[in-house]
Structure 1
Amino acid sequence: MHTTSRRQFIRLTATAAALSTTSIKAFAADRTIKIGTLKLIHGLTPYFYEKFVPAGVTIEVIPFETPTDGKNAVPTGTVDFGIFGLAAATLGGANGEPVVVIAAACNRGMAVVA
């Protein structure tokens, strides 16, 4: 049977007290999420994300002409993630570009790329 010594208990209590007094404000800071999408009818959904995010979070939608342009915006930091062509994202990842296909979108014709 494992018992907790008095010193361990005091250390755990002090750590818990220190963590409980840290400011939660750091987590509640305003944040802008940049999302890339294509200028197509099925690329319309990111324009509605603003209605579903918590307070303090804003959505900036950046439209792209081609899937390759959108995919290239992810590693450069122009967007945080986006919904682009699956082929462009897969080929970019296969060529060693720092992109990850997270999920399929639009009936598996496009992909969520980060």
Structure 2
Amino acid sequence: MTGYNMQRPYTITCPECGVALFPMIAEPAPHFECHIGHRLSPETMMDSQLKRLEVSLSAVMVVMKERAELCRQLEESGLIDRETAIKMAAESDERAREIKKLLELSWMPIPAEL
């Protein structure tokens, strides 16, 4: 992979099952609906996306911390040299700290008029 594509997504996916959502339907009240049949209000969609972000970022942070520990264990077992292990562990720890910062930031509140 040469880079990440930051273009506007073609569609929005259901936070319940991950399949594509139909565009917002206004009848009888504004909502999103997926191919499976999940129906979500705009407020529920926004709340569900924030929860998905937290779960996903938390999982990435855990893997970064595990990678740092793996580097330390590989160094202790003599499979990689100390200098490389220290650099690799520090890199993973720093990335975990950056993700933690993202997790600790607050989000704008969901507008009450949705």
Q: How high is the TM-score relative to the length of structure 2?
A: 0.26
Relative contact order higher in (CA < 8 Å, ≥ 6 apart): 1
The structure in which a higher percent of residues are helix is 2
